Amino acid sequence: MPPPKGRPAKGQWSARAVPGALFALHVTPGARRNDLVDLPEGGYRANTTTPPEDGRATAAVAEMLAKALGVAKSRLTLIKGGTARDKLFRLD
């Protein structure tokens, strides 16, 4: 069974784990579920159940992205968007 539209197949995220890769994410905090979705216009959408308080939603998204990529969370660097919904992460 193929993954739902917009959602990458399992293991497809690990193929994107290239050092220096940039990940532009539009984050929706306080969502019903945690997931990462490919956007048709490029970039990704990250839904997280964590509320946007004291950077907890950003930390949850970084952890979710690291897990999907199969890398340590410490390898992700937030380039911009610490308090915004649009975030840019770089994989080191």
Q: Report d(CA 87, CA 20) in Å as an integer.
A: 16
Asked if residue 42 belongs to a domain, the reply is: yes
Q: What are the start-end ranges of the E strands in 12-80?
A: 22-29, 35-38, 44-48, 76-80
- As for how many domains the chain has, the answer is 1
Q: What integer is the mean pLDDT of 62-68?
A: 95
How much of the chain exceeds pLDDT 90, in percent? 76
The residue type at 80? K
pLDDT at res. 54: 93
Higher pLDDT, 1 or 33: 33
Q: Which domain holds residue 51?
A: 1-7+20-72
User: Does the structure show a pLDDT above 80 at 23?
Assistant: yes
Q: Report d(CA 40, CA 38) in Å as an integer.
A: 6
pLDDT confidence band for 39 (50 / 70 / 90): confident
Asked if residue 56 belongs to a domain, the reply is: yes
- Please tell me the chain's helix, strand, coil percentages from 3-state DSSP, rounded to the nearest 5: 20, 30, 50
User: Does the structure show a pLDDT above 80 at 1?
Assistant: no
